[in-house]
Amino acid sequence: MSLPHAILTALLEKPSSGLELTRRFDRSIGYFWSATHQQIYRELGKLEQAGHIRALPAPVPSRGQKKEYEVLPAGRAELTEWVRRSEDPKPIRSALLLRLRAAAVVGTEGFADELRRHLALHQAQLDEYLGMEERQFPPERRTAEADRLRHLVLRGGIELERFWTAWLTEALAEFGGPARDTDC
């Protein structure tokens, strides 16, 4: 149920076409709620049918022109209701954790390499988030509530990546090997 709410949020921030939404998902919302191009377009259709969004009239009608969407009052009301709704945390589902549990049964041969690969991926993501924080949220931009809340979302991502890099480093220590590939 969260994809329509992610789209409503993005459209309230800035009316956009489906293609623009896809690009914005790749640069922001997609870091914590991903969606494919097809999923976004399918959801735009459902939101339009539900009366939550509408396509803005084109300045000059032409065939094949991209539609730009805006949120209608019913969409804002739906998003407001969703924000206020109570929701329990979801249990974590991690194939990596499950694979580590399976390795305890079938053996760990080669698994340290996979842990190192994950560590490198999480470190790269952490570095990207820290760069985003530096570029997008200098101290002077943290005064408006909307910016403080967006920064808080990014901080959540930063802390999750810090958790994973610390945990993977610890896991690799359990394997008795270095956390980083020293042959590079």
In the DSSP assignment, the letter for residue 141 is G
DSSP classification of residue 68: E
For the stretch 88-101, pLDDT in tens is: 988 888 999 999 99
What's the CA gap between 117 and 19, in Å, rounded?
A: 32
Helices (H), 14-110: 18-27, 37-49, 73-84, 95-106
Express each pLDDT in 147-183 by its tens digit. Answer: 899 999 999 999 999 999 999 999 999 887 555 554 4
Distance CA 67, CA 56 (A): 7
> Can you give the pLDDT at residue 86?
94
Q: Which residues of the chain fall short of a pLDDT of 50?
A: 182-184
| Torsion angles phi and psi, residue 56, rounded to 5 | -70, 145
Which residues partner with 71 through β-bridges?
Answer: 53
Residue 176 confidence (pLDDT): 73
Q: Give yes or no for a contact between 93 and 46, defined as CB atoms under 8 angstroms apart.
A: no
pLDDT computed for residue 1 by the predictor: 57
